[in-house]
Amino acid sequence: EIVLMQSPGTLSLSPGERATLSCRASQSVSSNYLAWYEQKPGQAPRLLIYGASTRATGIPDRFSGSGSGTHFTLTISRLEPEDFAVYYCHQYSGSPPYTFGQGTKVEIK
């Protein structure tokens, strides 16, 4: 089973600042099989990034994904008030289980 470790657990930032979220895998993950999701309280997760770096439909360009192998990054270039949420990485590489990271909470400083 591939374990995904996200860091930091919580990121305290102000609107307008840059957020950098990390997702490290216990084994190499094909870039085609790494996605990022955003979840706000009481809501279902929303797809942000797939294929490690492709923005999903309707996702603003302040969100970007990068990385390969065992290290992936989600960057929010300038935080908007609606971006304060929990972010999860997810991998589908190789055989199931298709694991999620434990999440990074981006909170208002």
Partner 1 sequence: QVQLVESGGGVVQPGRSLRLSCAASGFTFSDFAMHWVRQAPGKGLEWLAVISYRGDFKYYADSVKGRFTISRDNSKNTLYVQMNSLRDDDMGVYYCAREKTGGGVRLDYWGQGTLVTVSS
Residues that bind partner 1 (CB under 8 A): 1, 31-35, 37, 39, 44-47, 50-52, 54, 56, 86, 88, 90, 92, 95-103
For β-strands 86-91 and 34-39, DSSP reports them as: antiparallel
Q: Provide the minimum distance between the beta carbon of 45 and partner 1 in the complex, in angstroms, as a whole number.
A: 6
Burial (CB count within 10 angstroms: exposed 0-12, middle 13-18, buried 19+), residue 54: middle
Q: Provide the minimum distance between the beta carbon of 86 and partner 1 in the complex, in angstroms, as a whole number.
A: 8
Q: Provide the minimum distance between the beta carbon of 8 and partner 1 in the complex, in angstroms, as a whole number.
A: 14
Give the three-class secondary structure for 37. strand
